[in-house]
Amino acid sequence: MSALHEAASRDEKHGRARGVARRMPPGDPTTSSADAAPSGYRRLSAQDSSFVLVESDGTQPYVCAVARFEPPAGAAHTGALDIERVRAYVASRLHRLPHYRQRLAFVPVQGLPIWIDDVRFDVGCHVHHAGLPHPGGRRELQALAARIASNPLDRDRPLWEIWFVEGLAEGGFAAIVKVHHCMVDGVSGVGVITALLSPTPETSFEPAPPWSPQPPPSALTLLADGVVGLAGIGVAALRAASLALTRPLEVGASAARLATSTWQTVATGVPPLARTPLNRPIGRARRVDWRSLDLGVLRELRKRLDGTLNDVALCVVAGALSRYLRTRRVPLRGLDFRIVVPVDVRSGDGDRDAANRVSAWFVTLPLGERNPLRRFEKIREQTRRRKQSHAANAIDFFMRFADASGSTQLTSWGVRFVSSLRPYHMIVTNVHGPPVPLYLLGARMLEFHPLLPLFANQGLAIAMMSYAGRVHIGLNADWDAVRDLEVLADAFDDSLAELRDAAERRPAARRVRGPC
């Protein structure tokens, strides 16, 4: 950890002395509006702010998910819902999710995004009711999910919504969730799931605790706090200098590691992207699809091939993309197909204050490699190098530095730089989700398919999350860039089967490392 990095971390741990309370950790049931600062607002972290700044007509940074539930207790086969009771249930859990009753505002002059209580909050504006057209199958549910993902959220209200959907041919109901990325990442998203759902099939719930929104701060208060915040970078720099003088060897080693990880990140992302049909200007309309795989099979492959679950998942993604791009006659030999893999870098209580605390690895998927075992080995080699070199440190350091400065200028510059650089073809994420079944008012959740947002010139994103013995895969695509999304979705089963068959034909590798 560099000196400035350490100073920024200490600021986060103890809170900044400028009259602004620390952000409350998502999913913490002990927090409430009473914990807010007297000024009545909370600043977004630099990384959370970046998702506010990147939003545009074509780039809608919304994290979505589609969950399917069995029929609720006592309901008919159609899965008929008492939507007012569902709304009351969701309202009863919102004290665990403070930002879900807050809206965005901005500090004058500096433009810092902040959270303030929504004095007009109405759960009915966020929990909606819909029905599927006949026959109510997967295609109809996917079409509805795509339409919901395509529509913008209302910036004047809290940035989330849930659609409860009836009319499923197989019974039960579905929930389509949409949350702005500034409020959630993959890891904190699991916390949101566990805050809204229950590990037991209970049908009763306590009413929502009393909640009184704080009035918004005055423009003068915001402006004054913004001026004080400009001193943050100077304080952090002085602390960094002090650490460098008192512990020069430790600081020097940390700086060397940071320089190495920064160079590796830049060197990986700077070369121009190879052209593919997936990377083109995108619009607002979306297509979605999903599949699920047996988690036990992936775990067995991890052991047999001496890798990690993430290595196996990325290899399955590479196999599916290779099959799909060949159907579109894309030359794959020598193709430098770069993905970014989000990496959780939370390290303590202070890190839980931010909705997003992730860095990233750049990984090249060997799409031209037809042998699935060699494909796996090439991916495993890259991920091991990234882990050993602490490749995630560079991006995390930049975000912590921006937090310490208290200014949006660094964050805005970083967003513009990455948008102009376009260093990767797509995002692929793999999140460890709840291992046991979860319930909503007694109805067991059967599936949970995450859907990542799309960014500029990225027509496809792939998200994976484990849940109750399955790995659920969500595909979010631009409507025009990927018109045959079901072809890619079908390729995941074939890719896993190919890797499994190849692994079974060779003897198990002798383990030389501990489990990753």
Q: Give the model confidence (pLDDT) of 401-452 as tens digits.
A: 555 555 555 555 555 555 555 689 999 999 999 999 999 999 999 999 999 9
Residue-level pLDDT at 59:
86
82 and 180 co-located in one domain: yes
Is the Cβ–Cβ distance between 442 and 203 less than 8 Å?
Answer: yes
Number of structural domains found in the chain: 2
Q: Judge if 286 and 418 occupy the same domain.
A: yes
Q: Report whether pLDDT(505) > 80.
A: yes
Query: Taking 50 as the threshold, does the pLDDT of residue 27 lie above it?
Result: no
Q: Residue 478 pLDDT > 90, yes or no?
A: yes
Distances (CA, A) of 151 to 3, 147, 200, 285: 44, 7, 34, 8
Residue appearing with tokens 């080693």:
253
Please, what is the Cα angle at 152 between 476 and 156, to 5 degrees?
145
- In this prediction the pTM is 0.81
Query: Looking at the structure, do residues 179 and 241 belong to the same domain, yes or no?
Result: no
Rounded Cα distance between 343 and 348, Å, is 15
Q: What is the pLDDT of residues 114-132, one digit of tens each?
A: 999 999 999 999 999 999 9
pLDDT > 70? residue 212? yes
User: Is 390 found in the same domain as 262?
Assistant: yes
Residue 445 placed within a domain: no
Contact 118, 215 (CB under 8 A): no
Provide the residue type at 487 as one letter.
V
The strand pairing partners of 476, in sequence order, are: 288, 461
Burial (Cβ within 10 Å: 0-12, 13-18, ≥19) of residue 412: middle
Mean pLDDT of the chain: 80
Mean of pLDDT values over 47-68:
88
Distance CA 485, CA 324 (A): 9
Residues in the chain: 516
Query: Does 443 fall in a domain?
Result: no
Same domain, 86 and 194: yes
**Edge-to-edge strands of the sheet including 113-117?**
41-43, 113-117, 102-106
Q: What integer pLDDT is reported at residue 401 of this predicted model?
A: 56
342 and 456 belong to one structural domain: yes
Q: Which residue in 246, 284, 229, 243 sits closest to 406, CA to CA?
A: 229
Give the pLDDT mean for 147-165: 96
Which stretch of 35-39, 114-118, 135-139, 417-421 has the lowest confidence by average pLDDT?
35-39
The domain in which residue 243 lies consists of 232-436+452-504
Here the CATH number for the domain that contains residue 51 is 3.30.559.10
Determine the average pLDDT of the residues in 199-208.
93
